[in-house]
Structure 1
C-alpha cells in the first residue's frame, strides 16, 4: 500500500508541479483526505478506498498525465518518490508521537496557568467578545452585497422586460427574428451579474483570515504574562487555533463560490427557455412570450433571494464556528481538560507546510 500511495501521490504532485493552475494547497487537500481515509487499518477500509472516487481520481491523473508533465519529469520523480514514501510513513508515526507531545504540552500550559485561572478565563472571554464584534459586520455585509447585486439584476431585468414587451406590442410580422437577440442579451446579463457577485465575494475569506490573525495575536499578548516559562507551548497551541480558523474561512469561501456557480446554472435556463419558445413558434407564440416576460422577474427574483439567504447563513455559520474555536481554546487551557484528539490539526498543518516547502523547492529547480 505504501508503494501504491507513493505512486499515486507522485502522479498528482508531478502534474501539479508542471501546471501553474494547480496549487500546493489543492494537492494538500487531496493528500490529506487520502491519508486520513487510509488511517484505518482494516482491510475492508483499504479495499473501499481503492475503489473510492479519490483513489480513482488520483490513479487517472497519474496514468493519463505522467508522460506529458514536463521535460524535467525524470528529475522530479527522483525527488518525489522518496518524499511521498516518507510522507506515508511519517503521517502514521507522527500522529502517534504528536498526540503524546500535545498532551504533555497542554499539561505544562495548564499547570503554568492554573494560578491565574480566573484572569485567563476573563482574558479569553474578552477575546471571544471582541472576535464576535469584528466578525458581525462581515456577515451582514455579505448579505447586503448579494442583496445589492440582486437589486441591480432585477432592475436590469425590468428594463429588459419593458423592451421585450415593447417588441411584442409592435405587432410586427416576424416575432422570432425580432425577439431572438433578447435571449442572448438575457444570458449575457445573467452571466455578468453572477461574475460580478463571484468577484465581490472572492476577498471575503482573506478579510476574515486577517481578523483571525488579529484576534489570535491579541490572545497571545493577553496570555503571555501568564506563560513566561511555556511560551513555545502557547505558540504551538495558538498556531493550531489560527490554522483551524483560517481553514474554516477557506472552506466557507469554496462553498460560496460553489453556490455562485449553482446560481448561474439555475438562472441560465431562463434564457434557454426563451430560445425554446422562439424555436417552437406556433400560433400562440405572442401569448407564450407575453406570459414568459410577465413571470420572468418573479422567477429570477426568487432565485436571487434564495441565494442571498444561503450566503447570509454561510456567513453566520462561519462566525459561529470561529467563535466556537476560540471558546474551545479557553476550555483546553483550563486545568484537567483539553482534547488531545485534535492533534490532527497540527499534523495537517505540518503536511501543508511541508508540501508548500516542497513545491517551492521544485519551482526553484524548474527555473
Structure 2
C-alpha cells in the first residue's frame, strides 16, 4: 500500500528529475490530482482499491524509470517534499467544502451587483461569445484542412510503394525475396517520418488557441468590469478558473491530436511487419501468398488514412463548441435565478496545480 509519505517521496523524486527526464510539472500534477481525487475521503476501502490502480502503477513506473538519476537526491527530497505532498492532501480534504461555500457566496455577490445591469451584462457576454466563435472558426477550419492535406500527402507518399511492390511480385521468383525486402523497411520509415511530420504540423494549434483564450478573457474582463467595480475580485476569480478550464481543454486537444496521429502509426506499421513475415515463408508459395496481400495493400492504407481523417478532422469544431459552452455556462451562472454553483472542484484543481508548479520550479531553480 502506498502511504501518503510513499506517494510524497515518489512525487518528490519525479519533481527533482524533471530536468533530466521526460517529466514536467503538468504531468506530475496530473498524477497528483488524479491520485488525491480518487483517494477521496481517504477511507480504508478506497485506499485498498487504489493499491493496484493505474495511478499507483504509473507512479511506480515513473519512479523505476528514473531511480538511478534520483538516488543521490533521496534524503534531501524526503525533507523537502514529504511535508508538501502530505499538506496538499490534507488541504484538498479540508478546503473542498469550505471553498464550495466561498465560491457560492462570491457568485451571489456578483449576481447581486449585476442584477441592475442584467440585460447589458447578458448582451456583453453574448457579444464575447460571438467574438470567440469568430476567433476560433479559422483555427477549426485550418485544422480540418491540415488534416485533409496530411491525409492526402500520406496517401501520395505511400501509394507508389504499394504500386511498385505489386509490380515487383511479377518478377522472377528467385529474386523476389531479395527485391522486396527493402520495401518493408521503406514502408515503416515512411510511416514513422510522416506521422512525426503530422504531429509537428497539428500540435502547435493548442498554443495558438491558448493565446486566443487569453484575449477572450481580457475582453470579458474589460466588458464586465463597469458592472462589477466593487466585486472585481470575485469577477477576476471566475475568469481565472474559466481561463484555466479553457486552457486545460486546449491541452486535451493537443493530447488528442498526438494520440490520433500515433494511432495512425500503430495501424499502418503492422502492414510493414506483415510484409516481412510473408517474405519469410517458403519460396514455393511466396508469390501466391504475396499477391493478394500486395494487391490489397493500397486499400488497407487508404482505409486507415481515411479513418484518421474522419476522426481527427472534427477535433477543431468540437473544441470550439466546448469553449463557447464554457463561456455560456458562466453567463448562466451569473443569471439572477441561477442554481447552485457546483464547479468548486475546478477552483481547487487550479490551486493545487498552481502550487505544485510553483514548488516544482523552485526545486529546479535550487538545483541549478
Into which bin does the TM-score normalised by the smaller protein fall? over 0.9
In the alignment, the residues of structure 2 paired with residue 17 and residue 317 of structure 1 have an alpha-carbon distance, to the nearest angstrom, of: 37
Output one character per residue of 1:284-308: Cα deviation in whole Å (capped at 9) or x when no partner.
Answer: 4334433333222211111111111
In the alignment, the residues of structure 2 paired with residue 301 and residue 167 of structure 1 have an alpha-carbon distance, to the nearest angstrom, of: 21
CA apart distance, 1:40: 3.6
2:319 aligned with 1:356: no
Output one character per residue of 1:112-145: Cα deviation in whole Å (capped at 9) or x when no partner.
Answer: 1100101111111111122122222222222221
CA apart distance, 1:160: 1.7
TM-score w.r.t. the length of structure 2 is: 0.93
For 1:346, the equivalent position in structure 2 comes to: 347
In the alignment, the residues of structure 1 paired with residue 162 and residue 65 of structure 2 have an alpha-carbon distance, to the nearest angstrom, of: 49
Instruction: Give the 3 Å change call, closer, same or farther, for CA 283–72 of structure 1 in structure 2.
Output: closer
Range with bigger deviation, 219-228 or 70-79: 70-79
CA apart distance, 1:99: 1.2
In the alignment, the residues of structure 2 paired with residue 61 and residue 296 of structure 1 have an alpha-carbon distance, to the nearest angstrom, of: 39
Name structure 2 gaps, 5 residues minimum: none
For 1:5, the equivalent position in structure 2 comes to: 4
In the alignment, the residues of structure 1 paired with residue 64 and residue 272 of structure 2 have an alpha-carbon distance, to the nearest angstrom, of: 40
Q: How many residues align?
A: 366
For 1:223, the equivalent position in structure 2 comes to: 224
Instruction: Give the 3 Å change call, closer, same or farther, for CA 295–234 of structure 1 in structure 2.
Output: same
Question: Tell me, what secondary structure is at the counterpart of 2:284?
Answer: coil
In the alignment, the residues of structure 2 paired with residue 61 and residue 276 of structure 1 have an alpha-carbon distance, to the nearest angstrom, of: 35
CA apart distance, 1:96: 2.0
Range with bigger deviation, 320-329 or 64-73: 64-73
- 5 Å matches for 1:235-250? 235-250=236-251
In the alignment, the residues of structure 1 paired with residue 267 and residue 65 of structure 2 have an alpha-carbon distance, to the nearest angstrom, of: 33
CA apart distance, 1:244: 0.6
For 1:286, the equivalent position in structure 2 comes to: 287
Instruction: Give the 3 Å change call, closer, same or farther, for CA 219–22 of structure 1 in structure 2.
Output: same
TM-score w.r.t. the length of structure 1 is: 0.93
CA apart distance, 1:41: 4.9
Range with bigger deviation, 107-116 or 14-23: 14-23
- 5 Å matches for 1:247-262? 247-262=248-263
Q: Is the 8 A contact 2:12 2:82 kept in 1?
A: no
- 5 Å matches for 1:121-132? 121-132=122-133
For 2:193, the equivalent position in structure 1 comes to: 192
For 1:15, the equivalent position in structure 2 comes to: 14
CA apart distance, 1:309: 1.2
Q: Is the 8 A contact 1:194 1:260 kept in 2?
A: yes
Question: Tell me, what secondary structure is at the counterpart of 2:174?
Answer: coil
For 1:156, the equivalent position in structure 2 comes to: 157
Name structure 1 gaps, 5 residues minimum: none
After superposition, the CA RMSD in angstroms is 2.1
In the alignment, the residues of structure 2 paired with residue 325 and residue 254 of structure 1 have an alpha-carbon distance, to the nearest angstrom, of: 20
Range with bigger deviation, 331-340 or 102-111: 331-340
Q: Is the 8 A contact 1:14 1:73 kept in 2?
A: yes
- 5 Å matches for 1:65-104? 68-104=69-105
In the alignment, the residues of structure 2 paired with residue 203 and residue 178 of structure 1 have an alpha-carbon distance, to the nearest angstrom, of: 40
In the alignment, the residues of structure 2 paired with residue 172 and residue 48 of structure 1 have an alpha-carbon distance, to the nearest angstrom, of: 60
CA apart distance, 1:109: 0.6
